[in-house]
């Protein structure tokens, strides 16, 4: 199947005069998750992970992805004749080096400029120039080859009320315009869906697990224009936009409108974040005066206001009840009833859905039993899933979108007999998570300064994990939100390395993954708060948002020091206090045992 699709793609490439066609994982908005319409890389490669780039030549093809997906990609690419390129591994070329090595002199690079980031597009443009070739950036060859391609989504947009957002759209627009004046910008163009949704207090369902609408937004000192799909807007939303002096234009005419306005913008300064816009927009802006800086909304939406913070606490309490009830159900029923990765995930979603403000999962649940837990972003399917038995471990990484906010939690559950190595690794992950969440630090620290608090216990054992320790979380938006994160080295081309501000929400999720055996990840969400202020400066700390037991059946207390034991016992005392009102009889007794105090 994949080889037939690649053959059809190569025929289209030949007709278009393209020697190397590059297919990233993206939509027109540089989104992390994309709707079915944009899953072109998946269609031509068979690889279902959320990150990766496919490079196709006439006689070869390669799929580049990161360490989260090495095991998964190796399985899914079997029989496709596509070479897996494990990014960051020794002797593996970078994507650009590979293209440079394989592209012959005078050959042509092609891609759809709407799904290629501006920065990457410029790099490929330079490679083509060095090879005395050209780039063709205005062809979406999938339109010709993918005959049953799904349609672009256009779900109904709705207004997120101020009882949830905590700030009116007029106030948000005013703040953006103030930043524009401060930076000397006349026009600001937003193409990132979460920024637009946050700024306008609008939500929809155009991207799976990310309640946003396909749109572009252009703001000046006097005007504001939203480019969206007509079918998305009912009369109530149209009236809302009109009341807030926001014009509505067709989504399909955005690039043409920018091109036609170029003359008017010639003497204006246009603010865009080139890390977040696509190559076609970069070309349309041509020689205009560009202010290349992070979108002001990136930091604004990352700092949750008081209303959002209170709502988020409510969302996490609802979520904790659901996940803890799942843990109880799992422990009581494993081995006594048929249970699979799929049925367990469905039961967890059912528990979340018992809350009336639950909307949908905040991402596709990772329910990974046994050796599947070693696949960092594992995804069970009707064709391939594991039966859950009363032995080993089950890792469940899941979350929910509620009107009160978004959640993301991982727990690894011990279901029976486990090896000493498994118990040791479980304890390492728990220690790492606890140490980071208990951090106290001076204002100005970034994730790159704090990451070692979690990773150190792994490094001491000569171990590590191939992902960041944590990421920001949006409010009923993308569950992976910058600019805050925990990681020990910067990401190339990323602006996600700002200092922690009060109100930022960040995950804390160290893990360990042993191919063919097991995986452990334990994850809490943390709210950054101000602590004491003295002659040394403003100290900061993290407030727990996630209150779900850590499975004590996986803990080897002998590996923990007294401080770590105290942190765990304090956390479990708080978990029991918050959750007890929602449990009764045998379930309540189980909860008390699951959060019991431990010691050496």
CB 528 within 8 A of CB 540: yes
What's the pLDDT score for residue 154? 86
CB 362 within 8 A of CB 408: yes
Distance separating alpha carbons of residues 571 and 320, to the nearest angstrom: 13
What's the pLDDT score for residue 50? 84
Closest residue by Cα to residue 10 from 190, 553, 257, 2: 2
| DSSP, residue by residue, 198-224 | HHHTEE--SBTTB---SEEEEEESS-E
The band of 30, judged by pLDDT with boundaries at 50, 70 and 90, is confident
Residue 282: inside a domain, yes or no?
yes
Three-state DSSP at 527 gives strand
Closest residue by Cα to residue 510 from 426, 415, 594: 426
Same-domain check for residues 312 and 457: yes
Residue 599: inside a domain, yes or no?
no
Residue 600: inside a domain, yes or no?
no
Same-domain check for residues 363 and 424: yes
Residue 152: inside a domain, yes or no?
no
Distance separating alpha carbons of residues 50 and 316, to the nearest angstrom: 25
Domain boundary among 145, 175, 192: 145
Q: Which of 144-153, 182-191, 282-291, 361-370 has the lowest mean pLDDT?
A: 282-291
Burial of 259 (0-12, 13-18, 19+ CB in 10 A): middle
Give the domain CATH number at 485.
3.90.230.10
Helix residue spans in 370-471 (DSSP H): 420-437, 447-450, 452-459
Domain boundary among 239, 265, 294: 294
Residue 401: inside a domain, yes or no?
yes
The band of 377, judged by pLDDT with boundaries at 50, 70 and 90, is confident
Distance separating alpha carbons of residues 511 and 467, to the nearest angstrom: 9
The band of 497, judged by pLDDT with boundaries at 50, 70 and 90, is low
Distance separating alpha carbons of residues 11 and 5, to the nearest angstrom: 10
**pLDDT tens-place string over residues 519-558:** 999 999 999 999 999 999 999 999 999 999 999 999 999 9
Tokens 């600001």 correspond to what residue? 188
Domain boundary among 145, 170, 192: 145
Residue 368: inside a domain, yes or no?
yes
Same-domain check for residues 316 and 432: yes
CB 512 within 8 A of CB 387: no
Distance separating alpha carbons of residues 30 and 210, to the nearest angstrom: 13
Average the pLDDT over 261-290 and give the result. Answer: 88
Same-domain check for residues 537 and 454: yes
Q: What angle do CA 302, 278, 128 make, to 5 degrees?
A: 140
Average the pLDDT over 192-221 and give the result. Answer: 96
**116: CB partners within 8 A, 6+ apart:** 22, 24, 26, 124, 137, 278, 279, 280
Residue 123: inside a domain, yes or no?
yes
Q: Which of 363-377, 480-494, 546-560 has the lowest mean pLDDT?
A: 480-494
Whether the pLDDT of residue 472 is over 80: the answer is yes
Average the pLDDT over 369-387 and give the result. Answer: 91
pTM: 0.92
Same-domain check for residues 166 and 46: no
| DSSP, residue by residue, 254-287 | HHHHHHHHTTTTTTSEEEE-TTTSBHHHHHHHTT
Whether the pLDDT of residue 272 is over 80: the answer is yes
Q: What average pLDDT does the chain have?
A: 95
Longest dimension (CA), the chain: 76
C-beta atoms surrounding 50 within 10 Å: 17
Distance separating alpha carbons of residues 502 and 100, to the nearest angstrom: 44
The band of 496, judged by pLDDT with boundaries at 50, 70 and 90, is low
| DSSP, residue by residue, 446-479 | BHHHHTHHHHHHHHTTT---SS-SEEE--SSS-S
Give the domain CATH number at 128.
3.40.350.10
- Bridge partners (DSSP) listed for residue 397: 366, 410
CA distances for 139 relative to 6, 86, 116, 179, 372, angstroms = 16, 28, 12, 36, 38
Same-domain check for residues 6 and 109: yes
C-beta atoms surrounding 450 within 10 Å: 23
Distance separating alpha carbons of residues 575 and 598, to the nearest angstrom: 15
Same-domain check for residues 272 and 372: no
Same-domain check for residues 365 and 263: no
Same-domain check for residues 419 and 524: yes
**pLDDT tens-place string over residues 309-356:** 999 999 999 999 999 999 999 999 999 999 999 999 999 999 999 999
C-beta atoms surrounding 584 within 10 Å: 10
Same-domain check for residues 177 and 114: no
Residue 419: domain span: 303-594
Omega prior to 216 cis, within 30 of 0: no
What's the pLDDT score for residue 198? 98
Half-sphere exposure of 238 (CA within 13 A, CB side): 9
Element (H, E) at 599: none
* Chain centre to alpha carbon of residue 481: 6
* Chain centre to alpha carbon of residue 436: 20
Q: What percent of the chain has pLDDT over 70?
A: 99
Whether the pLDDT of residue 428 is over 80: the answer is yes
Residue 209: inside a domain, yes or no?
yes
Same-domain check for residues 140 and 173: no
Q: What percent of the chain has pLDDT over 90?
A: 89
Average the pLDDT over 74-101 and give the result. Answer: 94
What is the number of structural domains in the chain? 3
Same-domain check for residues 129 and 245: no
What's the pLDDT score for residue 382? 86
Three-state DSSP at 107 gives coil
C-beta atoms surrounding 303 within 10 Å: 15
Distance separating alpha carbons of residues 595 and 572, to the nearest angstrom: 5
Average the pLDDT over 72-82 and give the result. Answer: 92
CB 60 within 8 A of CB 83: yes
């Amino acid at each position: 199947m994949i080889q037939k699709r690649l053959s059809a793609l190569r025929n289209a490439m030949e007709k278009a005069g393209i020697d190397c066609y590059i297919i990233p994982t993206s939509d027109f908005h540089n989104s992390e998750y994309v709707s079915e319409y944009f899953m072109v890389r998946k269609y031509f490669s068979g690889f279902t992970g959320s990150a990766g780039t496919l490079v196709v030549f006439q006689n070869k093809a390669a799929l580049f992805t990161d360490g989260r997906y090495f095991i998964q990609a190796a399985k899914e690419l079997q029989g496709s004749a596509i070479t897996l390129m494990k990014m960051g591994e020794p002797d593996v070329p970078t994507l650009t080096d590979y293209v440079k090595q394989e592209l012959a002199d005078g050959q042509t690079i092609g891609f759809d400029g709407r799904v290629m980031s501006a920065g990457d597009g410029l790099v490929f443009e330079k490679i083509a120039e060095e090879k005395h070739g050209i780039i063709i950036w205005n062809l979406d060859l999938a339109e010709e080859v993918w005959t049953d391609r799904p349609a672009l989504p256009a779900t109904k947009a709705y207004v997120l009320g101020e009882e949830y957002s905590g700030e009116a759209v007029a106030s948000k627009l005013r703040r953006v315009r103030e930043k524009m004046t401060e930076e000397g910008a006349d026009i600001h163009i937003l193409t990132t869906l979460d920024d637009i949704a946050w700024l306008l207090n609008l939500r929809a369902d155009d991207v799976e697990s990310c309640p946003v609408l396909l749109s572009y937004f252009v703001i000046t000192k006097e005007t504001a224009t939203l480019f969206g799909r007509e079918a998305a807007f009912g009369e109530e939303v149209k009236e809302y936009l009109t009341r807030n002096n926001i014009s509505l234009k067709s989504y399909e005419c955005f690039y043409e409108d920018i091109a036609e306005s170029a003359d008017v913008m010639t003497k204006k300064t246009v603010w865009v974040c080139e890390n977040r816009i696509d190559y076609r927009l970069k070309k349309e802006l041509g020689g205009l005066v560009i202010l290349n800086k992070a979108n002001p909304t990136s930091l604004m939406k990352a700092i949750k206001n008081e209303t959002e913070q209170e709502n988020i606490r409510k969302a996490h309490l609802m979520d904790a009840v659901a996940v803890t009830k799942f843990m109880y159900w799992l422990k009581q029923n494993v081995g006594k009833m048929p249970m699979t990765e799929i049925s367990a995930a469905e039961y967890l979603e059912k528990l979340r859905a018992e809350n009336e403000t639950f909307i949908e999962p905040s991402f596709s649940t990772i329910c990974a039993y046994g050796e599947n837990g070693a696949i960092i972003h594992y995804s069970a399917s009707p064709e391939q899933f594991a039966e859950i038995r009363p032995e080993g471990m089950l890792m469940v990484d899941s979350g929910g979108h509620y009107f009160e906010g978004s959640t993301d939690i991982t727990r690894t559950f011990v279901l029976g007999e486990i090896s000493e190595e498994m118990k040791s690794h479980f304890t390492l992950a728990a220690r790492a998570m606890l140490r980071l969440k208990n951090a106290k630090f001076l204002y100005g620290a970034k994730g790159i300064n704090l990451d070692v608090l979690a990773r150190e216990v792994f490094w001491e054992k000569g171990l590590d994990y191939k992902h960041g320790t944590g990421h920001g979380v949006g409010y009923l938006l993308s569950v992976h939100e910058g600019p805050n994160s925990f990681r020990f080295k910067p990401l190339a081309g990323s602006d996600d390395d700002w200092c922690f501000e009060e109100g930022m929400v960040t995950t804390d999720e160290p893990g360990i993954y042993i191919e063919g055996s097991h995986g452990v990840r334990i994850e809490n969400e943390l709210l950054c708060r101000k602590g004491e202020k003295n002659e040394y400066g403003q100290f900061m700390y993290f407030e727990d948002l996630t209150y779900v037991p850590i499975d004590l059946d996986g803990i080897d207390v002998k590996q923990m020091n007294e401080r770590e034991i105290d942190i765990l016992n304090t956390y479990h005392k708080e978990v029991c206090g918050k959750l007890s009102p929602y449990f009764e009889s045998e379930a309540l007794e189980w909860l008390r045992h699951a959060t019991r105090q431990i010691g050496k």
